């Protein structure tokens, strides 16, 4: 639909932000933080969302944050987008420029990708809201400590907005040239 204004806005946004989002994801990948230690990621996301005109709120334990976009005081829907921030206690065996710089910590589960996707979506939606083109409200949730089963808490620690659900473990695949079996597998990881 070449005349779809939303699509045109999205294409324009992606052209303008592609390099920034790839750099953000690679920086997060290079600086993984385990559950409830996601201070660096929390700070960077909060600063970026604030620069986009949003008002992020850091969760009570100091890592993780929430930011709302738009207004649903007219009864229109509230939709939440959730990402997770923490890394796994694994060593990063890749040989890439953005390899983990932290011993025994690695974004082998893709939380760096999840976070970048929700950050990018949030920045785009903030633009749409500022232009009066966002019906309803969207809540961005950057959840801490997803891997240690303690981070799926409400924003105020009193059970409100509790989140839960199945977790996809990193898929394992045989390392090239090795047979399946113990020690012959490594976390699947794709480049972004």
Q: Where along the sequence are the contacts to Zn ion (CB under 5 A)?
A: 109
Q: Which residue is nearest to Zn ion (CB)?
A: 109
Residue 22 or 90 having the CB closest to Zn ion? 90
Question: 10 or 81, CB closer to Zn ion?
Answer: 81
CA distances from 27 to 23, 32, 91, 96, 97 (A): 6, 9, 16, 12, 10
Task: Decide whether 109 or 145 has the Cβ nearer to Zn ion.
Answer: 109
Look at residues 72, 36, 29 and name the one whose alpha carbon lies nearest to residue 153. Answer: 36
Smallest distance, Å, CB 15 to Zn ion? Answer: 30
Between 69 and 145, name the residue whose CB sits nearer to Zn ion: 145
In angstroms, give the least distance from the CB of 89 to Zn ion: 12
What is the nearest approach in angstroms of Zn ion to the Cβ of residue 121? 19
Q: Which is nearer to Zn ion, 52 or 118 (CB)?
A: 118
Number of H helices, E strands in the chain: 3, 6
Least distance from Zn ion to the Cβ atom of residue 158, Å: 25
Pairing of strands 78-84, 136-143: parallel
**Minimum separation from the CB atom of position 29 to Zn ion (A):** 14
The three-state secondary structure class of 65 is strand
User: What is the signed CA dihedral for 172, 84, 72, 78, rounded to 10 degrees?
Assistant: 40
Q: Are the CB atoms for 103 and 93 separated by under 8 Å?
A: no
Contact 190, 180 (CB under 8 A): no
């Amino acid at each position: 639909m070449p005349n779809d204004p939303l699509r045109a806005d999205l294409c324009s946004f992606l052209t303008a932000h592609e390099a920034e989002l790839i750099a953000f994801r690679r920086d997060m990948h290079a600086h993984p933080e385990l559950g409830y230690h996601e201070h660096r990621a929390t700070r960077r996301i909060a600063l970026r969302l604030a620069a986009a005109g949003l008002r992020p709120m850091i969760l009570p334990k100091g890592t993780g944050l929430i930011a709302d976009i738009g207004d649903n005081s007219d009864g229109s829907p509230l939709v939440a987008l959730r990402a997770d921030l923490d890394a796994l206690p694994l060593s990063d065996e890749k040989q890439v420029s953005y390899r983990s710089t932290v011993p025994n910590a690695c974004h082998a589960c893709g939380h760096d990708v999840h976070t970048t996707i929700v950050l990018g979506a949030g920045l785009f939606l903030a633009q749409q809201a500022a232009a009066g083109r966002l019906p309803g409200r969207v809540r961005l949730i950057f959840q801490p400590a997803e891997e240690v089963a303690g981070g799926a808490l409400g924003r105020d620690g009193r059970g409100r907005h509790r989140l839960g659900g199945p977790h996809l473990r990193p898929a394992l695949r045989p390392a090239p040239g090795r047979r399946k079996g113990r020690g012959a597998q490594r976390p699947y990881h794709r480049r972004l």
